[in-house]
Structure 1
């Protein structure tokens, strides 16, 4: 369970971020990956050389460094979300290069400068499922990506093949597939930021209890369709931010509406599925802003604050810093 979105400011800067909702224990940290970094996929044993540096939140487990989200030096940002019941990795090879699903986010951040670049790259790619060290199974995944221009796409590999879909709303959640979510928005056309002042039923005057009546049909649960609708409505109707600080504040306020507290969503394994962290990136400046379940204080990290001439990843530390009274 996760939600992702983009948001543009008056100045045209594009902000991108997500909630990381998960029911398994993870230890996310911030990493700087230098340009020309050479790495080997433990999933397929292939070696890659990155073209671009990037900053990302991820985790190293059993020697495998995987990423949940990130932004590279060219302003391409991306995140991976769960896609249960729809992701399909059992496809014919068709002479395309196989990229492990766990490596895919790292691969595109290291190789693509823009959404257009990503589209060209995917013509020769197929994604293969490899069990990850956390869940011990091939996690069903899909991806959302954006760049400095504000273009946004969703990447989904299902039984019909690998598709890269234009995302005009700049929002993504989990299953069903993206096209279903966009069609589902039509069920909520009556939602409004305004409200009727009065209605007359057979001579009886009815007035609203207070402000906000136009949003009474906005779904309030934490299923993927409900989170998609709620995020899409809020991001498209909030005031356009006039500055970077306003943009970041707007992003986090919107995501607060889909942030899941512990104990509200319990899996069939008896574990809590909750929002481990919320993070946003400025694709123009490569700055990261994040807060965690344990500490709501926002922390900032920038790609450009560190030596980019090294040959190995730089681990900036865990993002989990419990709040102490």
Structure 2
């Protein structure tokens, strides 16, 4: 139940930001890997990080499961839940880079400087429907990436062959697929001129969709991103990203004595691919911390 966005300021600072909405499981912890760190994808030989990496990870069975991350080349990636839409291979494919969905982010950040670099490698990648080192579950993911060139791309594995698609509103939530989200946004605004329509919507103070449904979170976040003035600096870009995502936080609530709701927002992160900073904002403590690569 996550929400993500990318923003580019007038000074060309680009950030990728996201909420991490997830069941009550092991905590997501800011984690740094140095260049030269060996790690073991579930399939194949060990790999070595070519860049320093910072992101939020769960530490399971001595392995790192990254939910989002940034490398020292200025490439960032975040995974979001994408149920009922993913198509993975059933088995390992010969002469391919075989990855479980949980391995994808670390593979991207370990080996690539830009989205274009990842794009050249995608024809060689097979996402395999197999459990990872922990948790007896195969996760349906899609991914949003941003890099230091200012490019944003989305990868939705709705077919076995992988390819990036552009995201004109620079927002991603969960199912349905991105084209469906964009069509719903156009219908909601009553226009295909999305930026102008979003600015008019905010100027006229019309109500925005509320609640945890992915389509509503997409529309609310897209209108806020498209309709607000472009931030001028890296600092104001981070602030605007945080302010926008705080509007779609799913609070932790007690549904009955001693039991909280299944899904809630653990944190918001902002990954500045221009200045190589990782801002982590845990919802329970609101103790904002910034890390530098």
- On whether the aligned pair clears a TM of 0.5, the verdict is yes
> Is the 8 Å Cα contact of residues 254 and 260 (structure 2) preserved in structure 1?
no
CA deviation map 1:49-102 (0-9, x unaligned): 222221111011112211010111110011011111111213573742211211
- Cα distance in 1 for residues equivalent to 2:200 and 2:173: 26
User: Per-residue deviation at 1:192?
Assistant: 4.7
Q: Are 2:76 and 1:85 equivalent residues in the alignment?
A: no
Aligned residues: 284
Of stretches 149-158 and 45-54 in structure 1, the one that deviates more from structure 2 is 45-54
CA distance in 2, matches of 1:295, 1:255: 16
After TM superposition, the structure 1 stretch with the greater mean CA deviation from structure 2, 219-228 or 183-192, is 183-192
SS at match of 2:162: strand
TM-score relative to the length of structure 2: 0.89
Residues 66-81 of structure 1 mapped to structure 2, 5 A cutoff = 66-81=65-80
For 1:260, the equivalent position in structure 2 comes to 250
1:215 equivalent in alignment to 2:206: yes
The answer to whether the Cα contact below 8 Å between 1:14 and 1:282 also exists between their aligned partners in 2 is: yes
**Structure 1: where are the runs of 5+ without partners?**
196-210, 304-325
Q: How does 1:239-250 map to 2 (within 5 A)?
A: 239-250=229-240
RMSD: 2.3
Query: Following superposition, which runs of at least 4 residues in structure 1 exceed 6 angstroms of deviation?
Result: none
Task: Judge conservation of contact 1:13–1:284 (CA < 8 Å) in 2.
Answer: yes
String of CA shifts for 1:94-142, please: whole Å, max 9, x gaps.
Answer: 7422112111100001111001111101121111133246642111111
Point out the structure with the larger helix share.
Answer: 2
Q: Deviations over 1:286-312 (max 9, x none)?
A: 111111121113111111xxxxxxxxx
Please give the residue correspondences for 1:49-60 in structure 2 after superposition, counting only pairs within 5 Å: 49-60=48-59
- Unmatched segments (≥5 aa) in structure 2: 191-196
Return closer, same or farther for 1:74/1:151 CA change in 2, 3 Å cut-off: same
1:167 corresponds to which residue?
167
Which deviates more, 240-249 or 86-95? 86-95
Measured in 2, the distance between the counterparts of 1:236 and 1:68 equals: 26
Deviation, 1:263, is 3.2
Counterpart-to-counterpart distance in 2, 1:240 and 1:158: 33
Distance of 1:185 and 1:103 partners within structure 2: 32
CA shift digits 1:249-307 (9 cap, x unpaired): 111110011111123999xx98431110001011011111111121113111111xxxx
Select the structure of larger CA radius of gyration. Answer: 1
Deviations 1:185-233 (A, max 9, x none): 11122465447xxxxxxxxxxxxxxx965423x3212111111111111
Distance 1:39 1:134 in 2: 15
Q: Are positions 1:232 and 2:231 aligned together? A: no
- The separation in 1 between residues aligned to 2:234 and 2:217, in whole angstroms, is 25
User: TM-score, structure 1 length as denominator?
Assistant: 0.81
Deviation for aligned residue 1:247: 1.2
